């Protein structure tokens, strides 16, 4: 694997890592103030698992596309041509270098389009996760609201039963 190929992989991993870096645990817990500490812990662990899985999936997909499109081979060939031309003092035909530069530029544009598409997909997945978390928050609030209503109904029934039984025994 050539230097250019390794640099491309390192750059991609750096970019994806900064894109999918999870927030701090404190920031995460602040986003869910109505949840108990135990629930916040479970949600945070689940969030970390999702981010980790997403990292792996994106990196695997990138590796797959690189292999499929033979990006590594192309970069290695470009690197070899550049080295050969640098060593050949008699090399005077600069048009070949321009062709290589044009081809490399085209390849980079294609890579940028692909990576942009992957980032958009990751952003959509992140939005889906956010929407899901919001839904879980709302469901939790709905359940706690129903529990309060049932408790009020029970206490009202008990109070009503006590009132009726007192009026029957006291003429």
- Is 17 among the domain residues? yes
Question: Per the domain annotation, does 154 fall within a domain?
Answer: no
Residue 167 lies in a domain: no
In a domain, residue 74? The reply is yes
pLDDT confidence tier of residue 74, bands split at 50, 70 and 90: confident
Q: Return the pLDDT at 110.
A: 92
**What does the alpha-carbon distance between residue 85 and residue 97 come to, in Å, rounded to a whole number?**
9
Domain assignment present for 110: yes
Residue of 13, 119, 6, 5 whose CA lies nearest to 59: 13
Q: What domain range is 103 assigned to?
A: 3-138
pTM of the model: 0.42
- 85 within domain boundaries: yes
User: Total domain count for the chain?
Assistant: 1
Is residue 141 pLDDT above 90, yes or no? no
Return the biggest CA–CA distance within the chain: 123
Asked if residue 30 is part of any domain, the answer here is yes
């Amino acid at each position: 694997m050539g230097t250019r190929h390794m640099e491309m992989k390192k750059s991609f991993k750096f970019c994806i890592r900064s894109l999918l870096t999870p927030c701090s645990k404190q920031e995460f817990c602040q986003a869910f103030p109505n949840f108990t500490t135990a629930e916040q812990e479970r949600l945070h662990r689940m969030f970390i698992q999702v981010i980790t899985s997403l990292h792996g999936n994106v990196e695997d997909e990138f590796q797959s596309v690189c292999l499929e499109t033979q990006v590594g081979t192309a970069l290695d060939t470009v690197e070899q041509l550049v080295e050969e031309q640098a060593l050949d003092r008699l090399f005077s035909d600069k048009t070949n270098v321009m062709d290589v530069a044009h081809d490399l530029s085209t390849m980079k544009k294609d890579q940028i389009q692909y990576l942009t598409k992957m980032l958009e997909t990751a952003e959509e997945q992140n939005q889906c996760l956010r929407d899901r978390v919001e839904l879980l928050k709302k469901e939790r609030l709905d359940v706690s609201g129903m529990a309060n209503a049932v408790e009020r109904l029970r206490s009202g029934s008990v109070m009503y039963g006590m009132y009726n039984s007192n009026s029957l025994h006291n003429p």
